[in-house]
């Protein structure tokens, strides 16, 4: 675990409480709910807007700015995984979705659906991670909700976050702007998050030092937009379904062809070994702390250079380009020079027998 994360855990010890697990009563809206929230939740995440303790947050955005709005739900299992937990995932995920719109996340809502019986210690650890991730990303949690469902009706805890962000003045990010010749960059190695999660899934446990790559990409993206503005045509974070699925969506929607070069695609050694063993293709494995950028061909090298100097971008690579000769298809030139179509996944990626 990185040092600031650990420091925050030490600085935020769990308050003394007269309950050690979350019960149905904690979601009732009554006395127990208030006890839970007042016991430390509000204190931990405090800011002026949250302190109002109202049903919603009221705020103003800078005049004349475009606003981005996004929502996502988080159901990861296990809730705690190498390199993080569902709390920071829920903050980073929505912050990153906004970043992909070219927006700086300003305000988040945070809603929990908790399965009865979750230990208060685990809930607290998740909250501390939320606080850490929100501070790191520079976003405020301004409203939220807590519901508790009966045991067996949930999977420990589900989180929904929605976020509002202000769009960078120079950002012009849209699928419509993707055009033939655009270069495709990836900000870091693929498939790390998915494999880190797999390594602790029940029945699949294997030894690895891998950690999820969950992180906030907003500072990096905004720094790129400061420098390159309209040269950046499209940004996407290839989460579920991995790089292959995201690029297929773009090829389908833009009616353009995408060419990929396997030899240039960064994958950590441990990740590719694990994928080999598990019968998975890294192209389809989920990412959290990685984004793909479609950039104007003539500035691609400069963007890549800049990205490599930014937070979480040191292993960025140029992995492909947009072509018109195979519309709606993603075609990969394999490391050994063969070519194949990279398709959309038919369902969940299922491991092969041999």
Partner 1 sequence: MKFISEFRDPELVEKYITEIRRTVTQPWSIMEVCGGQTHSLVKNGLLQLLPPEIRMIHGPGCPVCVTPLHLIDKAVHLAIDKGVILCSFGDMLRVPGSRMSLLEAKAKGADVRILYSPLEAVKIAAENPAREVVFFAVGFETTAPANALSVIHAHRAGLKNYSILASHVLVPPAIAAVMEDEDVRIQAFLAAGHVCAIMGIDEYYPLVEKYHVPVVVTGFEPVDLLQGILMTVKQLEAGEQRLENQYSRVVRPEGNAEARNIIGEVFEISDREWRGIGTIPGSGYEVREAYAAYDSNRKFDMPLEKAPENALCIAGQVLKGIKKPHECSQFGKACTPQNPLGAPMVSSEGACAAYYHFSQS
Footprint on this chain of partner 1 (rule: CB under 8 A)? 203-204, 263, 269, 272-273, 276, 278-279, 281, 326, 329, 331-341, 343, 346-347, 350-354
- Nearest to partner 1 of 110, 274 (CB atom): 274
Of how many residues is the chain composed? Answer: 354
Residues 239 and 286: beta-carbon distance below 8 Å: yes
CB atoms within 10 A of CB 108: 29
Shortest distance (Å) from residue 3 CB to partner 1: 31
The residue among 86, 283, 331 whose CA lies nearest residue 186 is 283
| Residue 99 or 271 having the CB closest to partner 1 | 271
- What is the nearest approach in angstroms of partner 1 to the Cβ of residue 203? 5
CB of 195 to partner 1, least distance (A): 14
Task: Walk across the sheet containing 67-74 and list its strands.
Answer: 67-74, 157-167, 103-115, 140-149
Least distance to partner 1, CB of residue 188, Å: 20
For the chain, the maximum distance between any two Cα atoms, rounded to a whole number of angstroms, is: 67
Tally the C-alpha atoms within 13 A of residue 321's C-alpha that lie toward its C-beta: 12
Strand ranges (DSSP E) for the chain? 67-74, 80-81, 84-85, 103-115, 140-149, 157-167, 183-186, 232-236, 257-261, 292-295, 317-323, 330-333, 339-342
Report the residue number, 147 or 329, with the smaller CB distance to partner 1.
329
- Shortest reach from residue 345's CB to partner 1, in Å: 9
> Between 179 and 326, whose beta carbon lies closer to partner 1?
326
CB of 334 to partner 1, least distance (A): 5
Cβ closest to partner 1, residue 58 vs residue 336: 336
- CA–CA separation, 223 vs 216, rounded Å? 13
Strands 339-342 and 84-85 turn out to be unpaired
Give whichever of 20 and 348 is closer to partner 1, judged by the CB atom: 348
* Residue carrying structure tokens 């606080």: 131
In the complex, least distance from residue 339 CB atom to partner 1, rounded to whole angstroms: 5
Closest to partner 1 by CB, 91 vs 274, is 274
């Amino acid at each position: 675990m990185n040092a600031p994360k650990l420091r925050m855990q030490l600085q935020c010890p769990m308050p003394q409480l007269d309950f050690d697990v979350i019960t149905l009563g904690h979601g009732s809206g009554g006395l127990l709910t208030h006890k839970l929230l007042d016991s430390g939740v509000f204190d931990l995440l405090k800011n002026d807007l949250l302190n109002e303790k109202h049903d919603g947050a009221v705020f103003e955005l800078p005049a004349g700015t475009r606003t981005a709005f996004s929502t996502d739900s988080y159901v990861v299992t296990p809730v705690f995984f190498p390199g993080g937990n569902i709390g920071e995932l829920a903050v980073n995920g929505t912050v990153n979705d906004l970043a992909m719109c070219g927006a700086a996340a300003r305000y988040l809502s945070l809603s929990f659906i908790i399965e009865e019986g979750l230990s208060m210690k685990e809930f607290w650890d998740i909250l501390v991670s939320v606080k850490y991730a929100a501070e790191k990303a520079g976003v405020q949690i301004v409203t939220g909700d807590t519901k508790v469902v009966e045991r067996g009706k949930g999977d420990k805890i589900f989180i929904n976050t929605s976020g509002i962000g202000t769009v960078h003045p120079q950002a012009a990010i849209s699928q419509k702007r993707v055009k033939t010749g655009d270069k495709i960059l990836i900000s870091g190695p693929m498939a790390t998050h998915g494999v880190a999660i797999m390594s602790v899934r029940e029945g699949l446990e294997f030894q690895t030092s891998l950690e999820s790559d969950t992180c906030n990409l907003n500072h990096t993206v905004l720094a790129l937009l400061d420098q390159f503005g309209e040269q950046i045509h499209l940004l996407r974070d290839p989460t579920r379904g991995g790089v292959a699925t995201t690029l297929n969506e773009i090829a389908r929607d833009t009616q353009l062809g995408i060419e990929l070069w396997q030899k240039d695609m960064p994958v950590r050694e441990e990740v590719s070994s694990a994928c080999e063993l598990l019968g998975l293709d890294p192209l389809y494995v989920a990412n959290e702390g990685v984004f793909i950028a479609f950039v104007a061909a003539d500035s691609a090298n400069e963007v890549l250079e800049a990205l490599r100097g930014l937070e979480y971008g040191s292993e960025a690579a140029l992995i492909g380009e947009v072509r018109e000769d195979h519309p709606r298809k993603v075609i990969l030139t394999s490391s050994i020079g063969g070519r194949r179509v990279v398709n959309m996944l038919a369902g969940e990626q299922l491991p092969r027998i041999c």
